[in-house]
Amino acid sequence: MQVTTEPEDTRVLLMKNIEQTPGIRYRELLRLTGLVNGVLSYHLSALERANVIKVNRESRITRYYPVGVSDKESAILKFVRHKPIRQILLFILEHDMCTFNEIVDHTGKAPSTVSSHLKRLRGAGIVLVRHGEYHQLYRVAEGDLIVEVLSKYSASFTDKVVDNYIEMLEEL
């Protein structure tokens, strides 16, 4: 836990965390920096006003990105930061097209969990569905972009605590 006293030091610390972990959540920044809620909020607002970070606020989740991360990359990053979704995307990429049951078997997740992930990925346009005679086939819309994002930001997928917590909630 790192706590600094100078505003410049605090902002440098925040930028370092955001650059190392694009798409990092507010709560994770609280944990990593040791800052209190109001102080963190103040400095993040200042960084956003200075146009050195991009902020994505959706429902109850706020994510922070360096300004160099494109909108397409950030749209993908918010999903692939979650390990089960990465597993699904990598499996589909590896096989080009997959059935729902193949994805469920590969991930070992409950069908309802896989279905929920696929629904979100479809809604974001990341995964496409082709309706066959007997089943649906899933494929990745922009495979090259997904591979680029996964390789470019693979070191930043360290949200193991967050992933484990989310997985635990989804299994309930």
Q: Does pTM surpass 0.75?
A: no
What the block records as the tokens of 112 is 């309802």
pLDDT in tens, 40-68: 999 999 999 999 999 998 888 889 999 98
Q: What percent of the chain has pLDDT over 70?
A: 87
CA 32 – CA 18 distance, rounded (Å): 11
pLDDT in tens, 74-96: 888 888 888 899 999 999 999 98
Q: Count CB-CB contacts under 10 A for residue 92.
A: 25
pLDDT in tens, 1-38: 555 457 788 999 999 999 988 989 898 899 989 999 99
Asked whether the predicted pLDDT for residue 120 surpasses 50, the reply is yes
DSSP character at residue 106: H
